[in-house]
Structure 1
C-alpha cells in the first residue's frame, strides 16, 4: 500500500471512530435526558399536580366509604379523613369494641353516619355483609386489610394455615368485596377504589414470599380493573402502605392526606408500573429503584435485610424459650 493510500485509510478509520463516538454520545445523552425528564415529571406530580376532588366520588352528598382493616393504623386514619370530607362510613375489622369506639368518636366529631361490621377476613366474606353493602350508595372503597408472615420464613418451612390465611385475606377477600361494590359504583358512574399495597409487592421480598406475591398480585390486578372501569367514572389504584414512622415511612395522617390529595395522579415514572406514588419519599425511592441499580441488586439487598430480621427473631425466640424453661 502506498503512502497516499495509507493516509486515505487512516482518515476512513478516523471517520468510523468519530461516528461511533458520536453515536455513543447520542445514546448517552438520550438516556440522561429521559431520566432527567422522568424525575422532573415525578416532582411535578407529587408536589404540584392536583388530584381529583373527593366530591367527584360523593363526598358531602350522602355517599358511603367502606374501609377494611379500619380499627388501627392506616385504615383508622382513612376513616378520620374520609369522615372529615363528609362521607358516611362502613367500618370493617376484626375487633368490634375498637370499631364501636371509632364509630362513636367519628359520629360525634364529624356528624356523619357510621356502621360497623366485625369479621375475620380469613374466614371469607359473609353473605349478610353483601346484603348490607348493597343497601348503601358506595362512593369509596379502601381495601386496607392484610396479614403477613409472623417472622421472615423460607417458603418451604412456612405453616400451611398461615399461607392460606395470607392468600385469603390479601387476595381473595379483596376480590370478593370489590366485586360486590363495583356494580353500585357503575350505577352512579363514579367511584374510588384504593388497594393498599406494599413495597414488597414491587421489589420481591425473600422469606416473605407469599405476602410479597400477594401484594404484587394486588398491584397488577388494580391496574387491570382500573383500565376496565375508567370509562365508568371509577378510579382504581394500588398505593404502597406503611407501618412505622421514618422519612421513608411516614405517620398515617400525612400519608393518608397525600393519598387523598393525589387521586388519579400516576406519580411519575418508577419501578412501580401499576400504582400511584402519592407520598414524596415513596415516589423518590421508586424512581431510584428504576434508574439506579438493576432489580437483582435490590432483590439481594432485600434478601440480606430479611435474613437479618429472621436471625434476630429466631434468637429472640430462643431467649424466650430458655427463660420460660428456667421458670
Structure 2
C-alpha cells in the first residue's frame, strides 16, 4: 500500500509541475505580447526608402485599408503608385495626396477579377519606369457576398476569389520583386485574415485563399530575408470597410486609420503571432484575440464556433434579401 501511495503522490507532484510549467509558459507568452504591442519598436520606414524618392505600390487603393495605406505612406514621404478598379476614385486620391504631401503619385485602373494579361503587361511597364520601389502593399481582395456553403456558391464568385486573392497576389509580387532585389531592400505587406488561421465554414474559398497567403508569405519571407526584403502577413480581424460591411468601429473592430498606423509602426514585430512565421498582429485588440485563440481551445473548437457564427450571419443575410425583394416588388 505504501508503494501505491508513493506512486500516487509522485503522480500528483508531476501533474502539479506540468500545470505550473504550462501556466508559466502562457504567462510569459502573454507578457511578451504586451511587450510587442506597447514597448518594442518596429522597423523604421526609412529602411525601405521613405524620404529618398522610393515608391510604395498599393493594390486595392481606392477604399478602406488600401486607401489608408496610400495616405500614411505618402505622409511618410513615399511616392505612391495606386492600383484599383475605379479610375475616378484613384485620380481623386492621387490629386489629394500630391497636394497634401508634395510627393509623386501614379495610378492604374484594373479589375483584378478579369486576370487580363494586358493589364499585367501594362503594370510591368509602369513598374519598370519607377527607379526605386521600396514597399508593396498586397491589399486587393474579394470575398463571398454572404456566407454560403461551397456547394451552393456560384462559379463566378469562386473564380473571382481565386483570381484576385491568389493569382493577383502572385503576379503583382513577381512584377515588383526585381526592383526590390536590385536595391537589396524592400517591404512586402500582405493583408491577411483570421480566416486564414482558422478554417471558416461558409467562407471556405476566401478562408483557403488567406491560408494560402499566410503559407506563401512564410515561404517567400524565408527566401528573401538574406536579400534585405521583409515579408509580413498581417493577420487581420475585422476592420470597418466596404468589404467587411461593418460601419461602426469598436474595441475589436477599428477604423482603417488606427489599424494601418499600428501596422506601419510595428513592422517586423510578431505581436503574438509567433506560431506563424513571417506573420504579425499589429493592432492590439487583434493581437489579444489571436493570443486567446491560439492559447486556449484547439482548432476544432474554433472551427465549430465559426460554423455557428456564419450560419447565423447567413440566415440574417437571406432574410434581409427577402425583405429587399419584397419591398422592390411592392414599388
Tell me if TM exceeds 0.5.
yes
- Residue 11 of structure 2 aligns with which residue? 20
Query: What SS does the aligned partner of 1:145 have?
Result: coil
8 Å CA contact 1:271, 1:287 repeated in 2? no
Between the aligned partners of 1:190 and 1:38, the Cα distance in structure 2 is 31
- Residue 79 of structure 2 aligns with which residue? 88
Which of residues 242, 250, 253 is equivalent to 1:249?
A: 253
Query: What SS does the aligned partner of 1:134 have?
Result: helix
Which of residues 24, 32, 36 is equivalent to 1:45?
A: 36
Deviation of 1:271 after TM superposition, in Å, equals 5.7
Q: Residues 155-304 of structure 1: matches in 2 within 5 Å? A: 155-241=150-236, 242-244=238-240, 245-269=249-273, 272=276, 274-304=278-308
Q: Residues 301-320 of structure 1: matches in 2 within 5 Å? A: 301-320=305-324
- Residue 4 of structure 1 aligns with which residue? none
Between the aligned partners of 2:274 and 2:326, the Cα distance in structure 1 is 47
8 Å CA contact 1:270, 1:290 repeated in 2? no
- Residue 26 of structure 2 aligns with which residue? 35
What runs of 5+ residues in structure 2 fail to find an aligned partner? 241-248
Are 1:55 and 2:62 matched, yes or no? no
What is the number of equivalent residue pairs in this alignment?
318
Between the aligned partners of 2:67 and 2:321, the Cα distance in structure 1 is 31
Structure 1 runs of 4+ off > 3 angstroms? 269-274
Between the aligned partners of 2:206 and 2:200, the Cα distance in structure 1 is 8
Between the aligned partners of 1:272 and 1:307, the Cα distance in structure 2 is 28
Between the aligned partners of 1:293 and 1:126, the Cα distance in structure 2 is 43
* 263-272 or 308-317, larger mean C-alpha shift: 263-272
TM-score by length of 1: 0.94
TM-score by length of 2: 0.93
CA deviation map 1:248-285 (0-9, x unaligned): 11111111111001111111256655510111111111
